[in-house]
A and B are shown apart, each in its own frame.
Chain A
Amino acid sequence: GAGVSQSPSNKVTEKGKDVELRCDPISGHTALYWYRQSLGQGLEFLIYFQGNSAPDKSGLPSDRFSAERTGGSVSTLTIQRTQQEDSAVYLCATKPGHHTGELFFGEGSRLTVL
């Protein structure tokens, strides 16, 4: 498809387990964001990738969270030793470059930590 694709759409895990969330961006989009959205809350910035530059990790809430982007395309957000407070929808968004703020969002991955 032509849009941003995220998987899995839903993930239920037990406290303490590690999870990986995947984002396939729109082809040619050099910028990629991860956001977290808790129930009824706004978007919480996590991490930003732009081309080959070092990622902006300033939004990651703890060292249990990490993300990588391979070959400037697919990105994976990893949460280690999950906690119940990690339960949220994780949204990926991409854009063509840094000269615009128009983001294209995926449908999100809903994470539930039991």
Chain B
Amino acid sequence: EDQVTQSPEALRLQEGESSSLNCSYTVSGLRGLFWYRQDPGKGPEFLFTLYSAGEEKEKERLKATLTKKESFLHITAPKPEDSATYLCAVQAGPGGGADGLTFGKGTHLIIQP
């Protein structure tokens, strides 16, 4: 059974204090790993797709990296507006339930001014 584990469950940082969120996965045949951001009362919003170990993607203060067992979402000099829940999802295959998509439970990130 495919498994996706995110850590920590919650993280509180001071503005400007860089850190990383972790997404560990156990799947058969990774097709892709996805990061989403979810603000309170909203649906998740897509951030990044990573397909193979060693791949990196960046967007503003966020950088996502991928190894064969885990992905990190690095947040550099965060601002209060980066506060949100960050969800990781993997797609494994071929096919399978939900077209092989499995979500982690998310990391709730709070950036204090």
Q: Give me the interface of A with B, judged by CB distance under 8 Å.
A: 4, 31, 33, 35, 41-43, 45, 48, 50, 56, 58-59, 91, 93, 98, 100-108
Contact = CB atoms under 8 A, between A and B. Distances in A.
Chain B interface size range: 20 to 34
Nearest to B91: A101
Contact of B98 (A4, A45, A102, A105): A45
Given A45-B103, A93-B44, 9 more contacts: A42-B106, A43-B103, A45-B98, A48-B99, A101-B100, A102-B34, A103-B44, A103-B46, A105-B45
Interface of B: 31-32, 34, 36, 41-46, 49, 87, 89-91, 95, 97-101, 103-106
Which residue, of A58, A91, A101, A107, has the highest number of chain B Cβ atoms within 10 A? A101
A42 B103 contact: yes
